[in-house]
Amino acid sequence: MSDFSDNVLNWFARHGRKDLPWQQELSPYVVWISEIMLQQTQVVTVIPFFNRFMATFPNVKALANADIDLVLHHWTGLGYYARGRNLHKAAKAIVNDYDGNLPVNVEQLCQLPGIGKSTAGAIAAIAYKQQAAILDGNVKRVLTRFHGIAGWPEHSAVKARLWQLDESLTPEIKVAQYTQAMMDLGATVCTRTKPGCDRCPLSEKCVAHHTDSIDQYPGRRPKKILPVKQVAMYMLQNKRNEVLLQKRPPTGIWGGLWSFPEADCPSEEPALLDDSIEVESSSKWPEVRHTFSHYHLDITPVHNKVRCQKNTIMDSGRWLWYPLDKPLEVGLAAPVKKLLRQLAQQPGN
């Protein structure tokens, strides 16, 4: 092993995290679920979601056989909902094509929905002890600072160089420990702000540390002004304190989640659904902004008290009367969940 990996492993033996929930009973399934949840999400946020998810879906067959609404319900609040949808799709593929066992090699893992090269490397290294590199945000930060690699890490040339370096540094033995160590080092020592260079096992040869330029690495993403989109969300509440929700298409923003009926701009009496619903009163709520990675969405909630001539409406697979006093196990878009909570707290509910 190189001095680099030796130093990282020695540091991990003394200071690495070893008490995380997904480290207790290690299996390919556990590693897979945790690595997907940890994509662009901090450990402290993931822990309660992981515990609830594993309690409901303890193995890949349970996940594959579950209804997608239940899966997304357990993902509600974690964000990046495509991860949840892809987990469900991948679980079905694992059961149908691999007899319920996650593939062993990186190439096959990358064929599953939602698994890229870095996540595949983590599964192969941690679960199967294979010499496979990972390149998540933590590892990128460590490598760019240590080697003084300028430029945005997602730029193709920079990323290619990082992969080359990463693969050359990944040891053949103790690869599982090394993989976890690199993620821990970036998450707990070589942090975005106020890194603990005095505690870092690599500081002696770190370019950024010795040139006093830590804040320059990794290079920042080129600035882009996010466009702003607007939408009105209609909260149709009936006499039974139920609110009408609509299931979104399986792909796209909030794919497969339940949300309020929408329109481009609010109107006093929305032309929605059919004549079985009569709007008795309408009020606009303060605008809410929800920010995605590529645009801001300004939401105008419109609260409508309605009278319904029927108990059901149209296609039950597309529409749902959601009871405010008894949360259902369905996937909800984050702003929808927040607005439902506010509705439930209204006087008289």
Angle at 211 between CA 206 and CA 214, to 5 degrees: 70
Q: Are strands 228-237 and 296-308 parallel, antiparallel or unpaired?
A: parallel
Distance CA 151, CA 149 (A): 7
- Selecting among 35, 107, 242, 278, the annotated active-site residue is 35
Cα of 65 vs its chain's centroid, Å: 21
- Residue linked to tokens 């239940």: 70
Contact between 66 and 88 (Cβ < 8 Å): yes
204 labelled catalytic: no
Q: Are strands 242-247 and 258-259 parallel, antiparallel or unpaired?
A: antiparallel
The CA–CA distances, whole Å, from 278 to 65, 217, 263, 315 equal 39, 58, 18, 19
DSSP one-letter string for 131-169: ------HHHHHHHHHHHT--S-TTSHHHHHHHHHHHHHH
Q: Residue 274 corresponds to which tokens in the numbers above?
A: 């059919």
Catalytic residues: 35
